[in-house]
Structure 1
């Protein structure tokens, strides 16, 4: 599961090189991980 999170974060980071955006995405993923445990590419 953690590997997926890293991959997703890396993917988002490449698309959105904005630190603020990356931070927001990281928080969102953290919440989603607790809710579903699995997230899709938005």
Structure 2
């Protein structure tokens, strides 16, 4: 039988994991966007 505190700790872990995942996704999307912008600038110069 899980104690209530264990349940809360599990929720905290899940929230932390989701938060990390969101940050990683946003970072990755931002990097992709920067690469696209950089490529567009390179093509403009060429």
The answer to which structure has the higher helix fraction is 2
Q: Is TM > 0.5 for Structure 1 vs Structure 2?
A: no
TM-score scaled by structure 1? Answer: 0.42
